Structure 1
Amino acid sequence: MDKTNLKTIASDSSLLSTTNKPKKSLSSSLSSAAKSTDTSAMLHRPVHQTFQNFLLVWLDENIDESKEEFQKSLSDLRHIVASITIFTDAQECFTCLSDIKDEKILMIVSDSLAQQVVPEFQAIPQLDSIYVFCTNQLVHEQWTKKIPKVKGVYAEIELIYEALKMDRERCDRALISISFNGIDALFTYAQLLRETLLDVEDDDSKSIKEFIQYCRLQDDIDEDEIQKIEREYDCHTPIWWYTAPYCINSMLNRGLRQMNIDIIFKMGFFIRHLHRHIESLHQEQQSSKRGTSAKFQVFRGQGLSVEAFENMKKTKGRLMSFNNFLSTSRNRHISVKQFARPAAFDLNSVGILFVITIDPAHSMASSTPFAEVKSVSFSEDQEEEILFTTHAIFRINRVERIEDKHTYRFWQVDLTLIGNQDNDFSKLMTRIREEHSSAKGWPRLGLILIEVEAFAKAAELFNILLEKATYDEDRADNNFQLGWVHYNMGEYATALTFYERALDIYQQMFPPNDRKLANSYNGIGEVYNHMGEYLKALSFFERALDVLKITISLNHPDLAYLYNNIGLVYDNIGDYSNALSFLEKTLDMRQKSLPSAHPIIAELKRNIENIKKKL
């Protein structure tokens, strides 16, 4: 039937709706080489989810945590990578790393184990880089040349720090989320998602305190770092914090990349602060350059998965969005040498040099602000960094391979920043805003998640909103949305519970003919219909119909939706005459509001023909 193609009746805010693991075995030589230890649980806890896109592992069978030299090295490393796990047992290390799915792994291997373990470890898909730490470089330099993931052989730990910093940024770049128009459902809502996050009106002071409390609940964020944020947040600009080597950058990037609702909710204040800072600098810088008409280019080098690259080639000439704040550079050489070309030698990725053309004539009118950040950045800006706000949208103009005698996986992708001056984009955004104009802030984000069928994330958000709700109507609305989410997940008993809670509150607050009661009746009817309790479903649909006939026009699409639901129930109970009557009413209304080739029209016609055959 056509039910899945029809929108639900919403409350006043319309509803939207690996890799292969390597075998966990090591040769007997590895097992005999490994040695267990009683080093503190802090260092030897299992590798767990971190707020960074990467984590650091150090494998050394002879580690001595009591040494001052080791403690200093550990402290220095934590300034580069928040999550560090120490292993002295090679088999345990291999097993743990094989289970990592979301993060990239950077690994230090001390020379006592290196030649034995590295050949097998390098097959772990998420293992990105290996650094061999030894006392005799000559012993290891020959065999490591055959293993691409070995980034170098180092006799001094300080040299590993510099390599780690570069690879940390490269990993961050490679894991940025990208959506393509026509392939990813989220692309359509990328701009609306940003507007929604910026539309939230929270108490910043309270939000910062809650963020600090949230950080303290995590076990991979250093307390000294948390205290620094707590003391000095207002002393620095948002861009300073974003470019600093602290948890704010890593946590935000991970939250936006994975659409991690918990992180996004806790960091909503910082998303707004960072966007507004970029927007302010953008206006200031563009005003000072007014009259300069020459187009200019910025660059971004990174690795892209083979799947994402193939999707990009399919959408040449169309639009794409970066779903994080986007760091670019005026320096092509650095973008190629440090980021794009090295990624081409990773068997799991394609090296990409994005070349972004910006037209100053359109930049002031662009819906995507960007800014030079040299004067406000944490560190000395050798890249000449240009930072774009989150969910920037570009048109893909050209995708061409860069000739390189050492690799065929090195490509240039030419992009153009688009915005309000792009007619196709403007029309798309106008339509989407109109469809979702009734909800604001966090509830609007929940509706977007429903629309892209991210139901588990929508449930997480609406549960947070329900817990925080202080007004009865907000509690009822969040219960209603949770009912709709669980209904879409096929969890009908849970959906019924939430719908009934919403209805109980609405009945105490509103008169019997209020639309929100009709929405609840309809939702409960849909649940009963799917549970096979058709007479109960029909009863609730009829109650919803009684309300809607009073509150909306006879040509309203919600009425057609309800007629369709009633027709489906009559079909299920074998009353084909009534089923035909209601489905024909639905078709008549839909034909007045939808194009003749619309799939809903086609589905309705098929349903009607099927009913006629049963009469």
Structure 2
Amino acid sequence: MGCSASEVSNSLSQNPQYTVTPLSSSSTLNQQPNSNRRPKRDYRIDTNEIIQNFLLIWLDENIDESSDDYLNSIEQLRRTINTIEIFHDTNECIDYMSQVQNEKSFLIISGALCESVVSRIHDTIQLHSIYVFCQKQEKYEEWAKNWSKVKGIFTEITSVCDAVRQSARQCDQDDIGITGVSSLNQIEPSFMYTQLLKEIILEIDFDEQKEIKDLVEQNIMMATIPTLQENNLESIYLIWLDAVVDQSQENIDAQQQIRSIINHLKTFQNIQDCEKYINQISKDDRILLIVSGQLGQEIVPRIHYNRQIFSIYVYCMNKVKNEEWAKHFPKIKGIITELNDLLNQIQLDHFKRIENKVDEPFIINISKFNNNNNNIIDKSTKELNGEFLYSQLLMDCLLRMKSNLTDKNEFINLCKKFYENNSKELNLIKEFEKNYSSNQVLWWYTRDSFIYRLLNKALRIQNIDLLFVFRFIIYDIEKQLKLYQCSSSIRVYRGQLMSIDELNQLKISIGEYISINSFLSTSLNRQQAIKFLNEYNFSHNLQKILFEIDANPYINNLKSFANISSKSFYSNEQEILFMFGSIFRLINIKQDNNGIWIIQMILSNHNNENLKILYDNIKNEYIDINNEISLLSFGNILYQMGKYDLAEKYFQRLLKDLSNNHDDISKCYYSLGVLALIKDNYDLSLNYHEKSLKLLKPNDSRLADSYHCIACIYQKKEYFKNALEYYNKALNIWYNKFGEDYYQIADCLSNMGCLNEKEENYSKALEYHQKALKIRKKLLPKDHSDFGASYNNIGNIYLYLHEYDLALENYEYSLKIKIKSLPIQHSSIATTLENIGLVYEEKKLFEKSLEYYKKAANIFRETFSSNHSNMIDIEQSIKRISSILESQILTTYF
């Protein structure tokens, strides 16, 4: 059978005891006779590997090995590279270098020899860098320009040592992916020796802060610009399909005019590419299609009923001919022969669409608090308490984070970059930059501008990077909604188009709570809302919906809602705006005599006590004494959501902004270490933890956090004695500081259970997991995700003991808790799905096993790279079970 996955406890918080609880156990068990897979554990880890496989060669005919300068230099260099070879003879040195195979070489050479030797050895594969040590720097500078491996001309040995150390460090970072794998198979004494070298390296002085800041700035640019260039940050796409769309100047000029109406324009000259592009666009976005008569007759029947297609315009030369086939497709808004008429029609329809908003996409999240259905792990469903919980938490965090002038400038620069070829929108951005004030935010939000379009999509798809720079706008909107909060009960209306599937999802959710991730615009005028619905001819797969919402402002803990007519760009509308994340109770759904579905809802503060306790517990970990959330806490929340790349990005951003002596630097290093561990970058993780330790005082209890993570690293590398040593160091600090009932102690005990599991001490492992569970029950709310980790790891023990029913029982209970407490795409959920697949594999229920493996793989792909250990394991499992099923089919037929 395969190996089950254990989960290591990781938690990032900003309490006085700041921690990313490493290795909180949840694992996947890989222990079957016919495979090398183990169940997965739930842990949290950080690691960093030691510089090794590096060789320093020093060639100098006149070197005095007894001098103090020489001895001091060697001492400095050995802090970085342990293997140093000294040569006085040129030929001996070259012969030696030609025999080096598995080590990267650094060469220090005297000025007297450099010109004659470098030409002979420069292209040697293992030679990484050359450093010329001489008396007259200017004598060799011109010569050195011809040799790329020459890293510098030095007149002082301390400068040579500094340059070698930095090159070795950089080279080690570049080789992490290779050395990290090979070092796992080395014997323990060798590992300890290289660990010692790494400790010495960390004592080296160099301008580390500057290097990190430069790297972060580069990474932020690399992360942001491709997003702007490749993705549409708005919800509307305009696609133009015509064999000659880019061949006439008239069409090219028209494209520029169209972009002033709809920013994202994509042109195609053939049906295949166009159809492929359409099918890649989310069904929650909207497409306006311009198509020639000839190509339209072929493509429209194939894409007309795609949910994302909203309007089609046939731009042709023969109107009568194309009207015949077009009449069967209600999304076709016109058969147009003149370019000006086409542009006018698109603009008219666009303004109408802005006014009525009936097909404006927004996501409804359904939270079935009493849902006992275990089959809720499909990506398509929104009935996930964890998803709901973290969506609410994320928005709460954004509102609590302080913003400043730099944030506004970052927002403006991002908008300018996205709209760089749209003169109309750029003029609006300039106007915003010059005139915006917080009391005008509703005027700007309701205007047809970049603010409305970018913010609504960012909220809908949870584009965290964009929401982060938008947070001052979000904050200002909430402030205005609170200021103008409705003072009496009201009933409001919203017309909306929905697919049959979307409607059916709501029909089976009557009595449940729903939340809407975007701002919700409604009207006091029922007839106006119905009028908007009736203005359109819609295809048969879309249903007309009228939301009928009752809102009472005197209920406690409601999201704000206000009549914004006096503050709106369109002051004649009776618009009531609800804050994003508003929660509603779904009361009833019925169809009236005109075929409109009436959905009755009440604005609510969900009263599920367990969810509220869990939400408050998570939120309170991150809020400071001023009721605010820092950038550090924001990164920690992203980590808890399983958004590891984003969390890393914000930790690096914070590291760039902090002063050299700021207390949060050690916390950043610690958090980055945890993330590196999760990504299997063990050496990098250890490096970060050691940096964090260097900044802490001897009596700081946070030392235990990094000791714990370092133990996890050793455990991952299967150096169990070292892991146990560091676990005990962490435990001693926590016991002395906090007593026995401390949540980090539970994490540590759980990880020690995983360690004993690896050593096949199953009874001892179970004992540790049960101790951890006992502490968690004393400290944590009922549905906390750490309970999911505990039951996952207990399931692993039963799986190893071949108690498959008990294993499955614990895994399913773990999954139930995780779904309540984590986002559905969290890798911890995938871990338990994978373990359930292992149980079914052991039970020879291969189709069921494959089903769970595939569900786990879908989540892992959203989180990890293809070469991550979790991805490699799950792909091997899918391949293994698929092969078994194929063999069974062949046996059946032959």
Same fold? TM cut 0.5: yes
Q: Is the 8 A contact 1:256 1:264 kept in 2?
A: yes
1:53 aligns with 2:235: yes
Deviation at 1:262, TM superposition (A): 1.7
1:395 aligns with 2:589: no
Per-residue CA shift, 1:234-260, capped at 9, x if unaligned?
635111221222222111112112221
Q: Which of the residues 291, 314, 318 maps onto 1:132? A: 314
Q: Is the 8 A contact 1:177 1:257 kept in 2?
A: yes
Q: Is the 8 A contact 1:298 1:357 kept in 2?
A: yes
**In 1, Cα distance between equivalents of 2:229 and 2:434:** 34
Q: Is the 8 A contact 1:356 1:414 kept in 2?
A: yes
**In 2, Cα distance between equivalents of 1:424 and 1:613:** 38
Please give the TM-score of this superposition, normalised by the length of structure 1. 0.78
User: Residue type of the partner of 2:549?
Assistant: I
User: Residue type of the partner of 2:560?
Assistant: P
- Equivalent residue, structure 2, for 1:199: 400
Task: Name the CA shift for 1:326/1:486 in 2 (closer, same or farther; >3 Å).
Answer: farther
Q: Which of the residues 442, 456, 459 maps onto 1:253? A: 456
Q: Which of the residues 550, 556, 574 maps onto 2:736? A: 550
Per-residue CA shift, 1:71-118, capped at 9, x if unaligned?
3x5455334311123344445433433443464221122446443543
1:436 aligns with 2:616: no
Q: Which of the residues 166, 170, 189 maps onto 2:390? A: 189
User: Residue type of the partner of 1:133?
Assistant: Y
Task: Name the CA shift for 1:202/1:299 in 2 (closer, same or farther; >3 Å).
Answer: same
**In 1, Cα distance between equivalents of 2:544 and 2:631:** 37
Task: Name the CA shift for 1:174/1:15 in 2 (closer, same or farther; >3 Å).
Answer: farther
- Equivalent residue, structure 1, for 2:642: 453
Q: Is the 8 A contact 1:8 1:561 kept in 2?
A: no
Q: Which stretches in structure 2 are left out of the alignment for 5+ residues?
A: 25-227, 369-382, 623-628, 804-894
- Equivalent residue, structure 1, for 2:564: 373
Deviation at 1:377, TM superposition (A): 1.9
1:127-276 matches, within 5 Å, as 127-134=309-316, 137-154=319-336, 156-157=341-342, 158-167=344-353, 174-182=360-368, 183-184=383-384, 185-203=386-404, 205-218=405-418, 222-233=422-433, 235-236=435-436, 237-276=440-479
Task: Name the CA shift for 1:14/1:547 in 2 (closer, same or farther; >3 Å).
Answer: closer
- Equivalent residue, structure 2, for 1:122: 304
1:526-605 matches, within 5 Å, as 526-575=712-761, 579=765, 582-583=768-769, 585-586=771-772, 588-590=774-776, 592=778
**In 1, Cα distance between equivalents of 2:690 and 2:418:** 38
Q: Is the 8 A contact 1:131 1:150 kept in 2?
A: yes
Task: Name the CA shift for 1:606/1:411 in 2 (closer, same or farther; >3 Å).
Answer: same
Per-residue CA shift, 1:171-228, capped at 9, x if unaligned?
895422222213222212343333211111121x222211122223335662452343
1:492 aligns with 2:685: no
Deviation at 1:357, TM superposition (A): 0.5
**In 1, Cα distance between equivalents of 2:778 and 2:757:** 24
Task: Name the CA shift for 1:245/1:565 in 2 (closer, same or farther; >3 Å).
Answer: same
**In 1, Cα distance between equivalents of 2:782 and 2:635:** 32
Q: Is the 8 A contact 1:557 1:589 kept in 2?
A: yes
Q: Which stretches in structure 1 are left out of the alignment for 5+ residues?
A: 18-45, 287-292
Q: Single out whichever of 546-555 and 476-485 deviates more from structure 2.
A: 476-485
SS in 2 for 1:214: helix
**In 1, Cα distance between equivalents of 2:637 and 2:449:** 30
Q: Single out whichever of 185-194 and 559-568 deviates more from structure 2.
A: 185-194
**In 2, Cα distance between equivalents of 1:232 and 1:602:** 53
Q: Is the 8 A contact 1:590 1:601 kept in 2?
A: no
Deviation at 1:325, TM superposition (A): 1.4
SS in 2 for 1:555: coil
SS in 1 for 2:511: coil
**In 2, Cα distance between equivalents of 1:538 and 1:401:** 65
SS in 2 for 1:324: coil
- Equivalent residue, structure 2, for 1:78: 259
1:94 aligns with 2:288: no
1:293-332 matches, within 5 Å, as 295-304=489-498, 308-332=502-526
- Equivalent residue, structure 1, for 2:834: none
Q: Is the 8 A contact 1:342 1:351 kept in 2?
A: no
Deviation at 1:443, TM superposition (A): 3.9
Please give the TM-score of this superposition, normalised by the length of structure 2. 0.56
Q: Single out whichever of 561-570 and 427-436 deviates more from structure 2.
A: 427-436
Per-residue CA shift, 1:421-475, capped at 9, x if unaligned?
x6447x7445422333132244444444444434444444444444444455434
Cα RMSD between the aligned structures?
Answer: 3.9
Q: Single out whichever of 128-137 and 238-247 deviates more from structure 2.
A: 128-137
SS in 2 for 1:81: coil
Deviation at 1:498, TM superposition (A): 5.2
Task: Name the CA shift for 1:375/1:527 in 2 (closer, same or farther; >3 Å).
Answer: same
- Equivalent residue, structure 1, for 2:529: 335
Deviation at 1:547, TM superposition (A): 1.8
User: Residue type of the partner of 1:273?
Assistant: D
User: Residue type of the partner of 1:492?
Assistant: D
SS in 2 for 1:515: coil
Task: Name the CA shift for 1:333/1:47 in 2 (closer, same or farther; >3 Å).
Answer: farther
**In 1, Cα distance between equivalents of 2:565 and 2:508:** 36
Q: Which of the residues 539, 542, 552 maps onto 1:359? A: 552
Q: Is the 8 A contact 1:56 1:106 kept in 2?
A: yes
Greater C-alpha radius of gyration: 2
Deviation at 1:146, TM superposition (A): 0.9
SS in 1 for 2:620: coil
Deviation at 1:70, TM superposition (A): 7.0
**In 1, Cα distance between equivalents of 2:550 and 2:449:** 31
Task: Name the CA shift for 1:454/1:514 in 2 (closer, same or farther; >3 Å).
Answer: same
Deviation at 1:263, TM superposition (A): 0.8
Deviation at 1:340, TM superposition (A): 8.4
Deviation at 1:564, TM superposition (A): 2.1
Task: Name the CA shift for 1:234/1:274 in 2 (closer, same or farther; >3 Å).
Answer: farther
SS in 1 for 2:702: helix
SS in 2 for 1:272: helix
Q: Single out whichever of 150-159 and 320-329 deviates more from structure 2.
A: 150-159
1:9-88 matches, within 5 Å, as 12=15, 48-62=230-244, 71=253, 73-74=254-255, 76-88=257-269
SS in 2 for 1:492: coil
Q: Is the 8 A contact 2:260 2:424 kept in 1?
A: no
**In 1, Cα distance between equivalents of 2:751 and 2:420:** 51
**In 2, Cα distance between equivalents of 1:464 and 1:169:** 40
Deviation at 1:416, TM superposition (A): 0.8
**In 1, Cα distance between equivalents of 2:346 and 2:691:** 60
Q: Single out whichever of 170-179 and 366-375 deviates more from structure 2.
A: 170-179
Task: Name the CA shift for 1:140/1:333 in 2 (closer, same or farther; >3 Å).
Answer: farther
